[in-house]
Amino acid sequence: MNAALKECGCSLGAKSMCAALGGSIIWRFLYSSWSVSHWLAFVWQSILAVLAAGVIGKLLGLTLAEARLRSIEKQIRKFESKGVWKV
C-alpha cells in the first residue's frame, strides 16, 4: 500500500521514454537513411517521441497507482465489513 501511495508515475514514464528512444533508433535503422541531411528531422522526431512517451507513461503510472489504491481500499473495506475485528 505504501508503494502505491508514493508512486508518482516516474518509473513508468522513464521506461516509456527509453522504449521510445530505442524504437526511434530501430525505426531509423529499418526505414530511413543515415544521411546528414536527415539528422535534424531525426533528432526532432526522437525528442518529440521521447517527450510524448514520457508524459503518457507518467499519466499511465499515476492511473495504475490510483487503481491499485482503490483496489486495496476495497479489500480493506470488505475485510472490515466481515466484522473480524469487532469486539
Q: Which residue has the higher pLDDT, 87 or 83?
A: 83
pLDDT for 15 beyond 90: yes
State pLDDT tens for residues 47-65.
999 999 999 999 999 999 9
Please give the model's pTM, rounded to 2 decimal places: 0.76
**Cα angle for residues 62, 65, 69 (degrees, 5° grid):** 135
pLDDT for 13 beyond 80: yes
State pLDDT tens for residues 16-50.
999 999 999 998 888 877 777 888 888 999 999 99
* Cell 507518467 found at: 58
CA distance 15 to 58: 10
